[in-house]
Amino acid sequence: MIHIKFVGVFILWKMKRALSTLFTLVLALQVFAGSASAATIYVDDDGPGNYTTIQAALLDAVDGDTIIVYPGTYPDEHIQVEKSVTIKGASEYPSVGGFDILRQSKIEGLTITQDVNFEGDGVSCTIRNNKFNGCGVSIGNNYMYGNQVIMNNLFTESPTGVSVFDSRDNEITGNTFQNCVVGISFISGIGGHVVTGNTFKDCSVGIRISQDSASIYNNYFSNNVNLMVEEDSNLILNTKMTSGKNIIGGPYLGGNFWGSPSGDGFSQTHNDTNGDGIAEEAYQIYDDVIDYLPLVTPKKKPEPVFPAVNFKASTTRGNAPLSVQFTDLSQNADSLSWDFDNNGQPDSDVQNPAYVYENPGAYTVNLTGSNANGTAWKTVVITVLEKQIAILPEANFSANPTSGYLPLSVTFTDLSKNATSRSWDVNNDGIVDSTDPSFVYVYNASGTYSAKLTAINENGTDSKTDAINVMEEESSGGDSSGESSGGSSSGGSSGGRSSGGGAVGGSPEPARNVEVKELSQVFITNGKAVKFDFKKNATCVVYVGFDAIKNAGKITTIVEQLNKKSSLVSELPEGEVYKSFNVWVGNSGYATSKNIANPVLCFKVEKAWLDDKSINQDSITLNRYENKEWKQLAGNLSGEDDKFLYITTDVPGFSSFAITAKAKGISGNISEDENGLKTRFHQGEGNETTGLNTGLDKDQNEKTKYREISPNYGVLGMLLLCLICALFYIKLPK
């Protein structure tokens, strides 16, 4: 029975059809003219694409174009589609906003975060292979055309996955609706909708329909309410029983699978006695809403289970005597039989046996597994070679010189025999200093060092050690400049740190006060810029750098991020403290103006901390402890990403530091101190705010292709004549 509203709507539809014919012919003219220059346009938010937004690409597109969207996030767009184009993701489902579709188009391969709306009549589109997060598709006010195709999409957390109103003949197939409030909603339409091959899972309502009609079959339902039918609706819930794999893997197409999250749905509680995957009784949902062929899981006969035999050997090749451990990896085997020496006789029935091959030769190992349904086997060849005497390496090296005054450069040369590789530890700190056959190491602190070489081959290792004596030359005056060294904090002591050349030993900071630390090692060469990168991102320090004045060999820099304040300082500086940390560069006394120049430190501040503490970004300051007081240092905002701000600061030296800032509303302007050091960091050069080079090419001559369309006036004339004839034969309904 068709509601009286449907009759009125049908008449309105017939009246509009003449105008639709005219619209369609005009659309054909546009498509014909545009297709002559159809092209592929690329959108990339940070790469080689022609455009950085989809909307910008649409402005230059013509009917028939394809817009390829590279992976990325385009969250703020709500895109107006007024041309007949295809918009699809290149890969990895790039994230976009939403769409207002006014022309026939295709949307595919995207992650969509805002609604897709069909606006106006005469729009027939395909939306497929997309991911909708918290949004959906709205189809309405297209009585005359309809025929929208919504296919193979994933809808999650959507208020309504697909909303259909005042429409007809739409196809919704192959989609998944999960954790939605309503999967599909049909309201006040002419009908003719087809819903098939969809999955509705954990939704409040699977399908809601009011004053509309639809054919709904071969769908999977498992929701709180699978189907909500309101007034004047006409539903067909099954097709004719036909051979073919249905949505739950059964052998026939018929109705739908009606389940529930609690496992007590109709299809979950009714048996299939004849194995056709169709319940033995119909499922009546309402008085006149019946699925006559509801799907159930087909009853299957148990398949015979055969043994699957597999095993691995600890080795398949080696010198006699060769011991091999065999490990059984078989499945469904009730008994096992091993033949290790291919003589056809069982040698063991243990699951994981070991066997020793005393004599050279090639042996085929066979494992046979059996159960009540049959037998299977697997073989592996073990190759046993002649007996060999293992040759161990003999470690030996030369050191030149073995004693002298600091800084002492020593050349180490490997003289080992039968070695395939080596490992040097020349300052007895337990850290490998080199694996090269020959290298130079510079000792920068006095002491006696035990230089050790470990020679290695496949049969074992051998080591040799030699003593290196480094003496400190007597000085008549001594350095009284009071410069801060990288080895100890201002006002602190060396804390018994190691005197080994390029390595850093103990820190004066108590271990219980160190939250986390990270090390970085660099070989120091005179005249070169040095950069210690902390790639593990364990602390707030990104890198430490300076210009080397002297050769120093391999130097270790340690960053200690502290639980509270350093034990080497009297108190923390004023303001909100983000992090407190120590920086140790080389041994005590190394990081002075005699050895390094232009020291710099880059640190990072988490944006979440700024938001949590309501921090004024311009007030972020790096403080250095010097001469028993805190000095504030100016910094440059050198970059940022989604999580951090990156700030680079020139520093007088390396010691104890603290990062501070002020809350919004508190002035960050502090006058310069006696050394002229500003307290607030300033923006770096480059872009107006971050100093980052975005890498965007502004030369639109290389990115935008302007196309001129020259219509074929002869063909256009013929089409215009066809238009006049069509209008002449249009008959409006009485």
pLDDT digits (tens, 9 = 90+) for 670-684: 434 433 333 334 433
Alpha helices of 115-212 — where are they, by DSSP H? Answer: none
List 455's β-bridge partners, or say none: 422, 462
Tell me how far apart the alpha carbons of residues 587 and 594 are, in angstroms, rounded to a whole number.
14
Range among 136-145, 196-205, 407-416 with highest mean pLDDT value: 196-205
Indicate yes or no: pTM above 0.75. no
DSSP, collapsed to helix, strand or coil, labels residue 34 as helix
Using the predicted structure, report yes or no on whether residue 668 has a pLDDT greater than 70: no
pLDDT digit string (tens) for 399-451? Answer: 999 998 878 989 999 999 999 999 999 998 999 999 999 999 999 898 999 99
486 vs 464, residue with greater confidence: 464
pLDDT digit string (tens) for 244-257? Answer: 999 999 999 999 99
User: What does DSSP assign to residue 139?
Assistant: E
pLDDT digit string (tens) for 529-575? Answer: 999 999 999 999 999 999 999 888 888 999 999 998 898 898 999 99
> Is residue 335 exposed (0-12), middle (13-18) or buried (19+ Cβ within 10 Å)?
exposed
pLDDT of res. 485? 37
- In the Cβ-directed half-sphere of 610, how many Cα atoms lie within 13 Å? 13
Least-confidence region, from 264-278, 332-346, 720-734: 720-734
- Tell me the pLDDT band of 177, cut-offs 50, 70 and 90: very high
Tell me how far apart the alpha carbons of residues 425 and 434 are, in angstroms, rounded to a whole number.
7
- Tell me the pLDDT band of 613, cut-offs 50, 70 and 90: very high
- Tell me the pLDDT band of 143, cut-offs 50, 70 and 90: low
Least-confidence region, from 17-26, 523-532, 596-605, 684-693: 684-693
pLDDT digit string (tens) for 286-305? Answer: 988 999 999 998 776 678 89
Which amino acid does the sequence have at 174? G
Contacts for 435 with CB less than 8 Å, ≥ 6 apart: 421, 422, 423, 424
Tell me how far apart the alpha carbons of residues 171 and 333 are, in angstroms, rounded to a whole number.
51
- Tell me the pLDDT band of 126, cut-offs 50, 70 and 90: very high
Contacts for 553 with CB less than 8 Å, ≥ 6 apart: 409, 440, 441, 442, 443, 444, 501, 502, 523, 524
Tell me how far apart the alpha carbons of residues 88 and 30 are, in angstroms, rounded to a whole number.
22
> Is residue 142 exposed (0-12), middle (13-18) or buried (19+ Cβ within 10 Å)?
buried
Task: Provide mean pLDDT across the span 84-99.
Answer: 93
Using the predicted structure, report yes or no on whether residue 258 has a pLDDT greater than 50: yes
Inter-residue contact 170 to 147 (CB < 8 Å):
yes
pLDDT of res. 508? 82
Percent of the chain clearing pLDDT 70 (strictly above): 79
Contacts for 84 with CB less than 8 Å, ≥ 6 apart: 27, 30, 31, 34, 63, 64, 103, 104, 105
Alpha helices of 218-336 — where are they, by DSSP H? Answer: 266-269
Structural domains of the chain, with CATH: 4-212 (no CATH), 237-301 (no CATH), 311-385 (2.60.40.10), 397-471 (2.60.40.10), 511-683 (2.60.220)
Using the predicted structure, report yes or no on whether residue 344 has a pLDDT greater than 90: no
Cis peptide preceding 321, ω within 30 of 0: yes
Q: What number of other Cβ atoms are within 10 A of residue 7's Cβ?
A: 10
Task: Provide mean pLDDT across the span 23-46.
Answer: 60
700 vs 365, residue with greater confidence: 365
pLDDT of res. 283? 95
Which amino acid does the sequence have at 576? E
List 585's β-bridge partners, or say none: 557
pLDDT of res. 553? 84
pLDDT of res. 301? 65
Task: Provide mean pLDDT across the span 320-337.
Answer: 94
Tell me how far apart the alpha carbons of residues 193 and 163 are, in angstroms, rounded to a whole number.
12
Tell me how far apart the alpha carbons of residues 131 and 158 are, in angstroms, rounded to a whole number.
11
Using the predicted structure, report yes or no on whether residue 31 has a pLDDT greater than 50: no
pLDDT digit string (tens) for 476-487? Answer: 333 333 333 344
Which amino acid does the sequence have at 224? N
Using the predicted structure, report yes or no on whether residue 35 has a pLDDT greater than 70: no
pLDDT of res. 714? 54
| Average pLDDT of the chain to the nearest whole number | 82
Using the predicted structure, report yes or no on whether residue 262 has a pLDDT greater than 70: yes
Using the predicted structure, report yes or no on whether residue 81 has a pLDDT greater than 70: yes
For the chain, give percent helix, strand, coil, nearest 5. Answer: 10, 40, 50
pLDDT of res. 191? 87
pLDDT of res. 694? 31
Taking the CA atoms of 113, 118, 119 and 123 in sequence, report the sign of the dihedral they define: positive
Q: How far apart are the first and last CA of the chain?
A: 22
Burial readout 628-647 (b: 16 or more C-beta within 10 A, e: otherwise): eebbbbbbbbbbbeeebbbb
